[in-house]
Amino acid sequence: MDIQKQIATVWPQLHDMAEPAFQEVRTAKFVADRLRELGYTVEENVGGTTAVVGVLDSGRPGPTVAVRSDMDCLLLKQEDGSEKAIHACGHDAHMTVALAVAQLVKEQGLPCGRVKLLFQPAEEIGKGALVLLEAGALDDVQYALGYHVMPKDMARSGQIIPQINWTACTLIEGEIRGLAAHGSQPHLGINAIDVGAAIVNAVNALHSNPLLGGSVKTTRFIGGAGSLNAICDKVSIGFDLRSTSNAEMLVLRQKVADIVTNTAKLYGAEGESHIVGTCPAAEADPSLLALTKEVIVDVLGTQGLLPAANITVGEDFNFFKQEKPELKTASLGIGCDLEPRLHDPEMHFDHAALEPAVKVLAQLTLKLLQNA
Q: Which of 279, 310, 331, 341 is nearest to 147 (CA)?
A: 331
Q: Residue 214: what pLDDT? A: 85
Q: Residue 139: what pLDDT? A: 98
Please report, rounded to a whole number, the percentage of residues in the chain having pLDDT higher than 90. 94
Distance separating alpha carbons of residues 129 and 121, to the nearest angstrom:
8
Q: Residue 207: what pLDDT? A: 83
- Contact between 152 and 353 under an 8 Å Cβ cutoff? The reply is no
Distance separating alpha carbons of residues 294 and 317, to the nearest angstrom:
23
Distance separating alpha carbons of residues 71 and 56, to the nearest angstrom:
20
Q: Residue 123: is its pLDDT beyond 90? A: yes
Q: Residue 110: what pLDDT? A: 98
- Position 187 confidence tier, pLDDT thresholds 50, 70, 90: very high
Tell me if the bond preceding 20 is cis, omega within 30° of 0: no
Measure Cα distances from 314 to 35, 246, 319 in Å.
Answer: 29, 12, 11
Taking residues 322-335, report their average pLDDT: 98
Q: Residue 225: is its pLDDT beyond 80? A: no
Give the residue, 265 or 78, on which the prediction is more confident: 265
Q: How far is CA 187 from the centre of its chain?
A: 48
Distance separating alpha carbons of residues 215 and 206, to the nearest angstrom:
9
Q: Residue 211: is its pLDDT beyond 80? A: no
Q: Residue 209: what pLDDT? A: 78
- Position 195 confidence tier, pLDDT thresholds 50, 70, 90: very high
Taking residues 166-181, report their average pLDDT: 97
| pLDDT tens sequence across 67-81 | 999 999 999 989 888
Measure Cα distances from 333 to 162, 293, 297, 304 in Å.
Answer: 7, 12, 15, 12
User: Hey, what's the torsion of the CAs at 247, 311, 274, 232, to 10 degrees?
Assistant: 130
| pLDDT tens sequence across 127-150 | 999 999 999 999 999 999 999 999
Sequence ranges of the domains in the chain: 3-166+281-370, 168-279
| pLDDT tens sequence across 148-171 | 999 999 999 999 999 999 999 999
Q: Concatenated DSSP letters for 228-255?
A: TTEE--EEEEEEEEEES-HHHHHHHHHH
- pTM > 0.85: yes
CATH, range 3-166+281-370: 3.40.630.10
168-279, which class in CATH?
A: alpha beta
For residue 44, the surrounding DSSP H or E stretch is strand 41-46
CA atoms within 13 A on the CB side of 11: 21
